[in-house]
Structure 1
Amino acid sequence: MKNSYWLTNLRLLDCRAGRLIAGKSVHIRDGVIDEVVEDAHPVTGAVFDLGNRVLMPGLIDCHVHVTAVKLNLAPGKELPTSLVTARSSRVMREMLLRGFTSVRDAGGADLGLKRAVEEGLFQGPRLFICGRAISQTGGHGDFRAQIDQPNVHEMEHTLNGIGRIADGVPEVRRATRDELRLGADHVKIMASGGVASVADPIDFLQYSDEELAAFVDEARRARTYVMAHTYTADAVERCVRAGVRTIEHGNLIDKPTAELMAARGAYLVPTLVTYDALAREGRNLGFSEVSLSKLERVLAVGSDSLRIAQAAGVKMAYGSDLLGELHRCQLDEFRLRSAVLSAPELIRSATSLGAEVVGMEGKLGVIAPGAYADMLVLDENPLEDINVLTDPTKNIRAIIKHGEFVKREI
């Protein structure tokens, strides 16, 4: 593809305003949007006539695990790192072909995968990584079975690069510094019980106040932020008061906690689709009975958490949190959230709000001069029907990442 071309005869989707703007032409140069002008503007060079189709920013998923290439995360069933890497390349390519031109990894992806995408060795979205999620012993990132005995050599065990263990303020600081040294863009911590881990109930509060403060202090001094796995209202409150910037999941939040999040400017990243997919397919795919029983609790209140957060004015970004064979359900999050949120709200969650979360406001999630040329071309208007985005094979005619056509059916 030439490094300079025009897109003309299009309807531009303004995600922030939630409207289409007709009569615009967009000039791309060296992977960046150079101009957005009226169609009447004289155009020279390569031109792609979009036939009055919709042009919108590429989608952003703020909670993925691209190295979670199988559903069962239990130790003892690890795959060779080289095989995980190979499978991850396929996971990322399929994400890109669904329209996700950027993703924020919540545990697993490392600097090597990020560079492989940047260098064109793997085809995939822009990666924003945390490296390994950090967990206390017995926390959501500790996937050892309950019959496993302590072993000093396991205290920083990894599971295909998903997580590491750190206990106490000195170790928390060292683990955070180490992940930043390894190229993390943000820091991921496990601050409450989880579904996929067997030893910690959902309402298990993890990490002390002092440890939470240490995570946030280290991240802030490195000019970045902390994202925290949390479910219950008290877990969310502890994290937000400590300065955590993004709350992952948050299914059991209440009104006071949501209002605190809004007041502190914390983001919520719901991930309803992972519970929906696991409820439908988890047992057949070998998900443990312990995890399935915990799943029922968070699944039942997922939509309620959206209503509570929306009423409080909490900013909500798009997330999926899928594992293994369930990555294919990534776009179903739109469908599930549409029971509560409007199409414009859903589109903002996966574009401009996602850009805010990853610290790329004005560069991603918008079609404007100076932004990266990450864009989708659609036959129909997703503002009228969000399901336009849930069937990319049918409705997405072109996918452009950094100015290059990944898919072109125009």
Structure 2
Amino acid sequence: MRGHVIDAISTSPIAGAGDTKVIDGRGKTLTPGLVDAHWHATFATLSPEVLMTADPGFIHIVAAREAERTLMRGFTTVRDAGGPAFGLKRAIDTGVCAGPRIYPSGAFISQTSGHGDFRARHEVPRDCCAHLSYAERLGAAALADGVAEVLRASREQLMLGASQIKVMAGGGVSSPHDPIDVTQYTEDEMRAAVECAENWGTYVMVHAYTPRAVQQSIRAGVRCIEHGHLVDDETAAMMAARGVWWSMQTFLDDEDAHPLPTPEGRAKARRVFSGTDQAYLLAKKHGVKLAWGTDVLFDARLADRQGAQLAKLTRWFTTAQALRLATYDNAQLLALSGERNPYPGRLGVVEEGALADLLLVDGDPLADLGVFADPSSKLLVIMKDGELVKDVVSSQRASGT
């Protein structure tokens, strides 16, 4: 490594300056840093009640602490799929705190009554002055109805530094007022967000589960579908034919299922869980461009299991395919941000000239992806942007252990 990039790769010794740091990785495995294509830096660990009532300063301090933990789990890059991450990204990039590279979406854009409308029913309707809800003031959501408002909300996020735009195109699990089956936004409204993003050289990602929501988004020009667990064969074929990315999560009814507080929420979650296996089978059948992310929300315990979620991909893929999803493939998706890419350069690969985001693993991920579920003991070296953020090998060598 030289500076921020991988300078040379060789099976023979490479000559270096006298002060070159050498790490002996014999018997270990070198991989690219992991990429989570659907992460929420602000929402990962705090409960909805805290997020909707706490002082913003507290929320951002907790997010900064969790960003460091994310990096120490081996995730050197995340795509933030909605939330007030601009300040955190700046703090990380300028060395104020440790954390992964962040591709921020800013506030997710939602219609009234949509997946991003977290107002209580007694807050409806808005008054004559259209005062913002707390989620809007925090920068978590942007409620926008009609083409003009969608354009304004999209442009505001791009002005603030979004690398891509996130729009809610259908019902969700964690939102209290929208059934999972509803389609959100009209095609014209969705197309407005797409045109705005394209004018800025980037793309739109949408939250959608159902065939109708996904197909309408694709017709509007959306290039990345988040979730999609309830799509049918026709929709998967449409995604493949249009070259649309499918960013999916390993949502299963298991120990990592979020403990939702209401019967309605749990019913919606079970419906999503029931579609996960079929969704992955359809994606493979039609050759859809796949990405992977965790979408951990509101639970510190589940955030700590970020690497365990990666290991679950072996239910549908070989270990090599799963590791490629979480590195090279995810990096290709992030590169869709084009001129808005905050980190120009190659991510997700161990190649000369690529950005130096690397992990040295005690074990063989191609034999067992479970090594990423135990990052404290299995990740011996973590390098981001050519800087060592963890180096157990050198520490052990210095102490003679």
Question: Does residue 226 of structure 2 align to residue 245 of structure 1?
Answer: no
Name the counterpart of 2:397.
Answer: none
Measured after TM superposition, the shift of residue 147 of structure 1 is 3.9
Question: Does residue 207 of structure 2 align to residue 229 of structure 1?
Answer: yes
Q: Which stretches in structure 1 are left out of the alignment for 5+ residues?
A: 1-27
Identity of aligned residues (%): 39
Q: Take 1:85 and 1:277, find their aligned partners in 2: how far apart are those partners?
A: 28
Deviation track 1:381-404 (CA, whole Å, cap 9, x = no partner) reads: 111222122211221111001111
Name the counterpart of 1:90.
Answer: 65
User: Which one of the candidate residues 315, 321, 324 is aligned to 1:345?
Assistant: 321
Q: Take 2:256 and 2:117, find their aligned partners in 1: how far apart are those partners?
A: 20
Name the counterpart of 1:196.
Answer: 174
Measured after TM superposition, the shift of residue 377 of structure 1 is 0.2
Question: Does residue 5 of structure 2 align to residue 32 of structure 1?
Answer: yes
Q: Take 1:338 and 1:321, find their aligned partners in 2: how far apart are those partners?
A: 18
- Structure number having the greater strand percentage: 1
Contact residue 195 and residue 295 of structure 1 kept, 8 A = yes
Contact residue 311 and residue 373 of structure 2 kept, 8 A = yes
Q: How many residues align?
A: 379
Q: Take 2:148 and 2:27, find their aligned partners in 1: how far apart are those partners?
A: 58
Q: Take 2:69 and 2:252, find their aligned partners in 1: how far apart are those partners?
A: 17
Name the counterpart of 1:157.
Answer: 133
* Counterparts in 2 of 1:94 and 1:50: CA distance versus 1, 3 Å: same
* Counterparts in 2 of 1:369 and 1:393: CA distance versus 1, 3 Å: same
Contact residue 144 and residue 153 of structure 2 kept, 8 A = yes
Question: Does residue 154 of structure 2 align to residue 176 of structure 1?
Answer: yes
Contact residue 75 and residue 145 of structure 1 kept, 8 A = no
Contact residue 110 and residue 184 of structure 1 kept, 8 A = no
Q: Take 1:278 and 1:378, find their aligned partners in 2: how far apart are those partners?
A: 24
* Counterparts in 2 of 1:84 and 1:324: CA distance versus 1, 3 Å: same
Name the counterpart of 1:139.
Answer: 114
Measured after TM superposition, the shift of residue 337 of structure 1 is 2.1
Contact residue 34 and residue 370 of structure 1 kept, 8 A = yes
Contact residue 231 and residue 249 of structure 1 kept, 8 A = yes
Question: Does residue 85 of structure 2 align to residue 110 of structure 1?
Answer: yes
Name the counterpart of 1:256.
Answer: 234
Q: Take 2:14 and 2:70, find their aligned partners in 1: how far apart are those partners?
A: 35
After alignment, is 239-248 or 136-145 more displaced?
239-248
Deviation track 1:24-60 (CA, whole Å, cap 9, x = no partner) reads: xxxx111211112232444544222212311110000
| Counterpart amino acid of residue 49 in structure 1 | D
Residue correspondence of structure 1 range 355-370 to structure 2 within 5 A: 355-359=331-335, 363-370=346-353
Question: Does residue 272 of structure 2 align to residue 298 of structure 1?
Answer: yes
Question: Does residue 198 of structure 2 align to residue 220 of structure 1?
Answer: yes
Contact residue 274 and residue 321 of structure 1 kept, 8 A = no
What secondary structure does 1:333 align onto?
A: helix
Measured after TM superposition, the shift of residue 311 of structure 1 is 1.2
* Counterparts in 2 of 1:219 and 1:100: CA distance versus 1, 3 Å: same
After alignment, is 131-140 or 103-112 more displaced?
103-112
Measured after TM superposition, the shift of residue 218 of structure 1 is 0.5
Residue correspondence of structure 1 range 124-135 to structure 2 within 5 A: 124-135=99-110
Structure-1-length-normalised TM-score = 0.88
Name the counterpart of 1:22.
Answer: none
Question: Does residue 370 of structure 2 align to residue 387 of structure 1?
Answer: yes
Q: Take 1:139 and 1:278, find their aligned partners in 2: how far apart are those partners?
A: 25
Question: Does residue 303 of structure 2 align to residue 327 of structure 1?
Answer: yes
Contact residue 51 and residue 59 of structure 2 kept, 8 A = no
Deviation track 1:346-376 (CA, whole Å, cap 9, x = no partner) reads: 1111111111111178610011122111000
Measured after TM superposition, the shift of residue 211 of structure 1 is 0.6
Q: Take 1:332 and 1:76, find their aligned partners in 2: how far apart are those partners?
A: 25
Deviation track 1:272-326 (CA, whole Å, cap 9, x = no partner) reads: 24864563x515xxx3332112111001211221111111111221201112223
The structure, 1 or 2, with the larger RCO (C-alpha pairs under 8 Å, 6+ apart) is: 2
* Counterparts in 2 of 1:40 and 1:343: CA distance versus 1, 3 Å: same
Contact residue 75 and residue 144 of structure 1 kept, 8 A = no
Q: Take 1:118 and 1:275, find their aligned partners in 2: how far apart are those partners?
A: 37
Contact residue 276 and residue 299 of structure 1 kept, 8 A = no
* Counterparts in 2 of 1:127 and 1:357: CA distance versus 1, 3 Å: same
Contact residue 328 and residue 349 of structure 2 kept, 8 A = yes
Question: Does residue 287 of structure 2 align to residue 313 of structure 1?
Answer: yes
Deviation track 1:183-239 (CA, whole Å, cap 9, x = no partner) reads: 111000000000011111111000001011111110001001000000011211111
Q: Take 2:328 and 2:134, find their aligned partners in 1: how far apart are those partners?
A: 33
Contact residue 141 and residue 164 of structure 1 kept, 8 A = yes
